[in-house]
Amino acid sequence: MARLVPVSDPGDPRLADYVRLRDVNLRKSLETEHGLFIAEGEKVIRRAVGTGYPARSFLMARRWVEPLADLLDEVNAPVYVADDATVEAVAGFQVHRGALASMERLPVPSVAETVRGVRRILILEDLVDHANVGSIYRCAAALGVDAVVLSPRCADPLYRRAIKVSMGAVFAVPYARMTNWHDDLGIIRGAGFGLLALTPDQSAVPLDKAPMGERVALMLGSEGDGLSSRWLAEADEAVCIPMSPAAMANGVDSLNVVAAAAIACHGLMRA
Amino acid sequence: MARLVPVSDPGDPRLADYVRLRDVNLRKSLETEHGLFIAEGEKVIRRAVGTGYPARSFLMARRWVEPLADLLDEVNAPVYVADDATVEAVAGFQVHRGALASMERLPVPSVAETVRGVRRILILEDLVDHANVGSIYRCAAALGVDAVVLSPRCADPLYRRAIKVSMGAVFAVPYARMTNWHDDLGIIRGAGFGLLALTPDQSAVPLDKAPMGERVALMLGSEGDGLSSRWLAEADEAVCIPMSPAAMANGVDSLNVVAAAAIACHGLMRA
């Protein structure tokens, strides 16, 4: 049976996991310190629980209990039930998607473990925007990328906004975070991957003509600067998405990183 | 010479074009009524002026005058100069990108005119999100799509947020808005275009294997519901982006519309 616990005081310490969900800095430190993340909305909560993340607690208005009843019955965690105003006062905004869940993070596997036995991976270097990271996971999941490796500075895929934008795909794609920006590419290469660096440079090999070996790791750079020169230099091949010559002449010569990632993931599928 | 006009009263009627830029409903009616749109930031303003849109006026803090001096000297429109607090009080938010310009809209050509003599077009049905429309124009411009045709209900590509997300690409791609959702597809077909409907349905022809004739129009549906059944039925061929079978089994079986559009525009380039 679900343990329903009525709450009405936004300052209730049992709701501390849910405070000020839009305060990025506060949330980053709070979630890291307590090893938690927030799942929002029925679909995403189901996916998080289904993936094996343990629930710490739930917070929702009464009307969201029924649609989640089967899950709440199974999971051994308190369900705090409050009116909309209380939820809003805690979270700091009106929670349209209804239910919130505070979930426990699990240990993230090492880079070596994550790439073992798989064939197609993305490596993201310093993508700091949560929505971009979430969107890229969604592409990766839908298009059959086996795993994602994040550079040390990449945004957290389990941050609420990343989860939401990914529609829960962040749970579906195994990932690792590099601990060593300098050397961890070597681990991936050592596991037999060819490293392709995606660059806007039109003198690079077009993605559709790039050699796709048995194992391919595609590296994507940050929103602003693209891949670092060090990572570009470490690649076996630089590849590009061909742009329209007219666009180049007009200065409309770039895609945003999500559009580039979508095309790249689609390209990885062909092999 | 630029006509610099110092202003300090946020209620100054000469600043009426710039009020409450984040109030979508107000802006929609105001911009329609006065036939204007707002360009934000040096790069986008340069692109708008370069495309031939006449400027009605500019509004900026003093420090943004210098970087735009050459353009302001050429254009015969008043440059309202105010401190940051005044600009913020008018616009309703802190304008990070500095300069604002109020531009005159030009008559949008008809569907028939827009598709005449071109080979690759996108047709967007009821995409209501400005950021999605802007992102799709950016993909279209970079990947060489010749023109965009919008259904009557599509979001306005000259809305500030669409322009910003597109990085000004909305100016680079000719477009038309259908006046008749029922019959305007017939005009496009009559101009010799094969109509491809993009659908998540995996029994459709994979995009990469779709027949690309001399002239191809790719139809993209709305964020939520996809293409209407009427438009699907009118297509010569339904095409899909192949999804990973594992993702389908996991329920992570869709791309967002921008990712889908990016892959589709890339696919259109090959012919």
Sheet strand arrangement including A175-177? A175-177, A147-150, A120-124, A216-220, A194-198, A237-240, A205-206
Using the beta-carbon criterion (under 8 Å), do A141 and B250 form an inter-chain contact? Answer: yes
Q: Which amino acid is at A246?
A: A
Least confident of A61-65, A136-140, B246-250: B246-250
Domain positions in chain A are 3-104, 111-269
The alpha carbon of residue B81 is apart from the nearest alpha carbon of chain A, in Å, by: 29
Please tell me if the domain spanning A3-104 has the same topology as the one spanning A111-269: no
In the predicted model, what is the mean pLDDT of chain B? 92
What three-state secondary structure class fits A259?
helix
What pLDDT does residue A257 have? 92
Chain B hits for A266, Cβ within 8 Å: 241, 263, 266
- CB contacts < 8 A, A to B, total 105
Token pair belonging to A151:
């550079």
Confidence of residue B134 (pLDDT cuts 50, 70, 90): very high
Chain A hits for B133, Cβ within 8 Å: none
CATH topology of domain B3-104: 60s Ribosomal Protein L30; Chain: A; (3.30.1330)
Which whole-number Å values give the CA distances from A168 to A122, A150, B80, B185, B226, in the listed order?
A: 18, 18, 47, 36, 20
CATH topology of domain B111-269: Alpha/beta knot (3.40.1280)
- A contact test, residue of B266, B268, B269, B270 with most A CBs within 10 A: B266
pLDDT digits (tens, 9 = 90+) for B209-253: 998 889 999 999 987 778 999 999 999 999 999 998 877 777 767
Using the beta-carbon criterion (under 8 Å), do B247 and A142 form an inter-chain contact? Answer: yes
SS3 content of chain A, % helix, strand, coil (to 5): 40, 20, 40
Strand partners for B121: B147, B217
Q: Average pLDDT for residues A165-190, to the nearest whole number?
A: 92
Which whole-number Å values give the CA distances from B53 to A171, B29, B45, B47, B107, in the listed order?
A: 47, 20, 10, 9, 10
What pLDDT does residue A271 have? 61
Q: Average pLDDT for residues B118-136, to the nearest whole number?
A: 95
Interface pTM, i.e. ipTM: 0.89
What pLDDT does residue B247 have? 77
Using the beta-carbon criterion (under 8 Å), do B256 and A208 form an inter-chain contact? Answer: no
Q: Which residues contact A37 (CB under 8 A, 6 or more apart)?
A: A31, A53, A102, A103, A105, A158, A159, A160, A163
Query: Which residue is closest to A200 within chain B, CA to CA?
Result: B142
pLDDT digits (tens, 9 = 90+) for B166-224: 999 999 999 999 998 778 999 999 999 999 999 999 999 999 999 888 999 999 998 77
Percent of chain B residues past pLDDT 90, beyond the cut: 82
- B contact test, residue of A133, A143, A254 with most B CBs within 10 A: A143
Query: Which residue is closest to B247 within chain A, CA to CA?
Result: A142
* A→B interface, C-beta within 8 Å: 47, 135, 138-139, 141-144, 167-169, 172, 208, 241-247, 250-256, 258-263, 266, 269-270
Q: Residue A136 above 80 pLDDT?
A: yes
Q: Residue B271 above 70 pLDDT?
A: no
Using the beta-carbon criterion (under 8 Å), do B252 and A143 form an inter-chain contact? Answer: no
Chain A hits for B266, Cβ within 8 Å: 241, 263, 266
Q: Count other Cβ atoms within 10 Å, centred on residue B192.
A: 13
Q: Residue A249 above 80 pLDDT?
A: no
Q: Count other Cβ atoms within 10 Å, centred on residue A47.
A: 23
pLDDT digits (tens, 9 = 90+) for A92-122: 998 887 899 999 999 999 999 999 999 999 9
DSSP B31: H
